[in-house]
Structure 1
Amino acid sequence: MGDWEWPLILFTVLGQIAIGIIVMLWWLDRDRDHLDTQLFKQGVYVSGGLLILALLASLFHLGHPEAAYRALAHLGSSWLSREILLFLLTFLAWINLFGMSRRQRSSRAIGAGATTITTAEIAAGGQQSGNRSLGLGITSVLGLLGIASSAMIYVLPRVPAWNNVGPVLFFLLTTGLLGALVTLVLGRKLLQPAQKKLLLQWSLGCTIASLLFYVIYASMLSVSMEGAASLNFLLSSPLFWARALLGWFAPLLLLVNLLKNSQVAKTNLILTLTLLAGLGEVLGRALFYLSATGIQITVLF
């Protein structure tokens, strides 16, 4: 079996939350002026902090971090090289978003503090919204491509448990689920009720999809001897059942309760939901590495 790969767990989970926040902000900004300026700023700051932590964590997995730049010489043949390039480009795109957030004028301040708004100010505000949406879109696309590249590193013929579409779907579902929940936490006082409901519905869809796909994934593992060994390890591990409780069953109950009873503004429930889902995804990512039979991750520089 595999090992606890804490640098990779932190890199993948934190990086996916960071990209997920940006994707959710882009989605909320699909109609101009529907994304609160303060939420945009908070989302950019938090996503940037998480992205920096993720990139720093990834360095602890390398035998020679100072030589990481050499991986860029293998873009044509290595998913690792593509991952590094795409995450660097994502970080550069985030720097642009950070600059936008510093220049963004608060729509609330304009509405409360100005008695007249000139045509030029309206046009400038519209241009800011358009640039913001474009910046969020570019960062989202680069980040999602980086996450897909991360997942493709593990699609290896010599590891049956990984040699399928599983890594890509698992990574993207984590991005969608935790990105939506963390955005909901950040915007609990800034989001409109309809926006909160949409984020909860999206989170519910990601949780159901994750559970259903895991059932399919488990059936796929039983085809080969190595895959069956991975499946046996999973089902006999207390970590798997903790992951199922924290990451699937408890979040499903809370999400259904929030949506059914229109309690989208209950901060304590939202925080509890996010914490449980986050712990569940961390355990799930740990099991992803632990359950791989005969795997030894090495990086050559």
Structure 2
Amino acid sequence: MNDANYSLVLFTVLAQGSVGMIVTSYLCFRLAGRGEMPHVRREWIMAGVLLLAGLTASLFHIGHPFGAAAALTHGATSWLSREVIAVCLFGALTAYTIVAMRKSLPASLMLGTAILGVVSLVVSGAAYAPPSLPALNNASPIALFLLTAASIGLASKSFFGPKDDDGFVAQWLIFVLIASIAVRIILPSVWSSGGAVMMKTGQAWFASPVFWLHIVLLAAPIPFLLKSKALKPWMFVAVLAAELLGRLTFFVGTAATYQNIGHLF
């Protein structure tokens, strides 16, 4: 794996984590029925920092970083360009909403930002589902990216009060982590019974120690959450590490049709 792919791992996971934090923050704000809460703005600032770090990392995927603006010019034909446009719009709206939060919590802006974040995830999933990757040329990248956003977003609540939300968030985090583990086991199982390239992908995922370590890290918070329903900062660290390792498997272990040109699989 080259440095460019490492930058993609950081970009996708951090950007999706940012979306998850903002969606989780908005939902907790609305469902809790509270008024203005100072911790919400801090939460959004942290989400903005994650997104900025992800966008910075993405520049190292480009051969000529100073020409990155050219990626915005092919939105009509390229999913990668649409991804860049969607993420940049999401970032701009996030920044605007954070500024607006200095006086009050603008619910409509928060909702619009959360929706745009989810749209950016769907567009990103489409960008990483090319025909050359049969295992991913479907809705699985979108599902994986949404699960990444949800797990990081929910786990991040361990850093932001009020603690009264812990029980509600913990229940959803347990559900998302179990769903994440299930999807990550089911997908390579299905691929292993598919065509030659898909089978190679499934086998590579299951044979990877990184894949199994990421499963273990995803599962680590579950027994503690079931017992106490209390969110702890180490859970966010475990989930973030798990998602980074899982994304490594996503980029490294997925076989492409062009890899064995001239050879039998």
In our comparison, the structure showing a higher alpha carbon Rg is 1
Residue 35 of structure 1 and its aligned partner are, at CA, apart by 5.7
Deviations along 1:129-176, one digit per CA (max 9) or x if unpaired, are: 4xx111111111111111111111111222122112211011000101
Deviation per CA, 1:75-102: give whole Å up to 9, x if none: 2221111111111111111121121222
What are the equivalent positions in structure 2 for 1:1-301 lying under 5 Å apart?
5-30=5-30, 34=34, 37-104=37-104, 129=105, 132-182=106-156, 184-187=157-160, 190-193=161-164, 195-222=165-192, 223-247=194-218, 249-259=219-229, 264=230, 270-294=232-256
Corresponding residue for 2:263? Answer: none
**Partner-residue secondary structure (3-state), 2:9:** helix
| 1:186 alignment partner AA | F
Q: 1:250 to 1:33 in 2, by over 3 A?
A: closer
Within 2, Cα distance between the matches of 1:55 and 1:286?
A: 18
Give the distance between the partners of 2:208 and 2:184, measured in 1 at CA: 15
TM-score (norm 2): 0.90
Contact 1:42 1:186 in 2 (8 A): no
Partner Cα distance (1:274, 1:230) in 2: 29
The residue type equivalent to 1:287 in the other structure is: T
Normalising by structure 1, we get a TM-score of 0.79
Deviation of 1:251 after TM superposition, in Å, equals 2.3
Distance 1:35 1:229, change over 3 A: farther
Q: Give the letter for the 1:278 counterpart.
A: L
* Distance in structure 1 (CA, Å) of the matches to 2:131 and 2:186: 19
Whole-Å separation in 1 of the counterparts to 2:41 and 2:72: 32
Q: Do the aligned partners of 2:79 and 2:126 also contact (CA within 8 Å) in 1?
A: yes
Kindly, what percent of the aligned residue pairs are identical?
A: 29
Cα gap change, 1:62/1:89 in structure 2, threshold over 3 Å: closer, same or farther?
Answer: same
> Does the 8 Å contact 1:157/1:163 carry over to 2?
yes
Aligned residues: CA RMSD: 1.9
Question: After superposition, what is the alpha-carbon deviation per residue over 1:267-290, rounded to whole angstroms, capped at 9, x for unaligned?
Answer: xx6122222111111110100001
State the Cα distance separating 1:33 from its structure 2 match: 5.4
Task: Answer whether contact 1:10 1:57 (CA < 8 A) is retained.
Answer: yes
Contact 2:26/2:114, CA 8 A, preserved across alignment: yes
What is the alpha-carbon distance in structure 1 between the residues aligned to residue 35 and residue 166 of structure 2? 12
After superposition, the Cα gap between the structure-2 partners of 1:88 and 1:284, relative to the gap in structure 1 and judged at 3 Å, is: same
- What 5-or-longer segments of structure 2 have no aligned partner? 259-265
Shift of 1:250: 1.4
Distance 1:36 1:253 in 2: 33
Task: Tell me the amino acid that sits aligned with residue 145 of structure 2.
Answer: F
Paired positions, count: 256
d(CA) in 2 for partners of 1:157, 1:216: 21
Contact 2:211–2:246 under 8 Å retained in 1: yes
Shift of 1:29: 2.3
| Contact 2:197 2:257 (C-alpha < 8 Å) held by counterparts | no
Distance in 1, matches of 2:162 and 2:176, equals: 20
